[in-house]
């Protein structure tokens, strides 16, 4: 299977999930460390509130813009985000992708669109989910 540009392959479900899990673990570690240093303790309840969701969403929205389509997990897995025209993602792409496509749509549908997106990434030739279509993005191997 070929990507949008010169033979680069689309990143599939498993590698994208692995990258997301790596990012979650890294964010949990550093958030926990920050809470432990600043408050003298850490509770798993700290990661269940609105603040955690904002940190998580902000990370996935801003980091790819600053870091050329990468977040830490994607860099480790050697995949990256691009716009469908092959150029670097912009903040507008990431707001649409992460804030609207993942966060708000997932919240409004009680997670159903997240499951549909996962199924789309599994079955579509270009491995794009709802969030990718909304943001005008795709994930490719580097």
- In this prediction, residue 132 carries a pLDDT of 98
Q: How many Å is the maximal CA-CA distance in the chain? A: 52
Q: Answer whether residue 22 is part of any domain.
A: yes
Q: What's the whole-model pTM score?
A: 0.86
Q: What does the pLDDT look like over 21-43, one tens digit per residue?
A: 999 999 988 888 887 888 777 66
CA nearest to 123, candidates 1, 19, 4: 1
Task: For residues 56 and 84, give the distance between their C-alpha atoms in angstroms, rounded to a whole number.
Answer: 24
Q: Within the chain, which residues score under 50 in pLDDT? A: 1-7
Helix runs in 69-129, H state only:
72-77, 91-94, 105-108, 112-123
- In this prediction, residue 6 carries a pLDDT of 45
Q: Answer whether residue 5 is part of any domain.
A: no
Residues with Cβ < 8 Å from 98, sequence gap 6 or more? 57, 60, 61, 131, 135
Q: How many independent structural domains does the chain possess? A: 1
Q: Answer whether residue 113 is part of any domain.
A: yes
- What domain range includes position 52? 13-141
- In this prediction, residue 1 carries a pLDDT of 34
- In this prediction, residue 8 carries a pLDDT of 62
């Amino acid at each position: 299977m070929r990507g949008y540009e010169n033979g680069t392959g689309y990143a599939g479900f498993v590698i994208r999930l692995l990258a997301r899990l790596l990012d979650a673990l890294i964010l949990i570690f550093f958030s926990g460390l920050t809470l432990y240093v600043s408050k003298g303790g850490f509770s798993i309840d700290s990661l269940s509130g609105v603040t955690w969701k904002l940190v998580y969403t902000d990370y996935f929205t801003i980091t790819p813009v600053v870091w050329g389509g990468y977040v830490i997990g994607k860099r480790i897995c050697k995949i990256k985000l691009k716009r469908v025209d092959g150029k670097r993602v912009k903040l507008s792409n990431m707001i649409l992708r992460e804030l609207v496509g993942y966060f708000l749509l997932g919240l409004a549908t009680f997670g159903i669109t997240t499951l549909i997106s996962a199924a789309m990434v599994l079955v579509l030739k270009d491995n794009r989910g709802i969030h990718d279509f909304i943001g005008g993005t795709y994930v490719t191997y580097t």
